[in-house]
Amino acid sequence: MLNTVSIATVAAENAHTQTHVHRSKECYGCYKKYAFDSAILDHLEYDTCPSGVTLENINWWAFECYQHRYYTNNWDDEYQYRCPRNHDNFKYVSALLRHTESPTCGANQDRCIQKVKAYIEKKVRDLESSASS
């Protein structure tokens, strides 16, 4: 099953959902608070973070992470990302994370998902620290 929802639609839905959930997670680039890791990635992918991180950065870093073979398809594929458990396909890292955060999947605690989140966070923070130097 392919996920064909646009990033703008997903970001809007996620923003609405967050109005009902406690926001305890800080954006890696600007410290704005979000309820879910997927919402942080929406924020970064949609170019709304003042850090300047873009969708292209996120895609590059997701493929650069050494665990990428577990959650990616091919770089040139329209749906570059896949769930490591049920192999559903996604266009964006944020959509993959949203799926893994859902109770129907549960892959959020899988090592490869934890590693890509940590790797992207590190890359954003590195970018921020080099910009402020």
Q: What is the pLDDT of residues 79-116, one digit of tens each?
A: 999 999 999 999 999 999 999 999 999 898 999 999 99
Q: What is the mean pLDDT of the chain?
A: 88
What pLDDT is recorded for position 23? 76
Q: What is the pLDDT of residues 11-36, one digit of tens each?
A: 566 555 545 667 779 999 998 999 99
Q: What is the pLDDT of residues 43-66, one digit of tens each?
A: 999 999 999 999 999 999 999 999
Q: List the beta strands (DSSP E) in the chain.
A: 25-26, 33-34, 81-82, 89-90
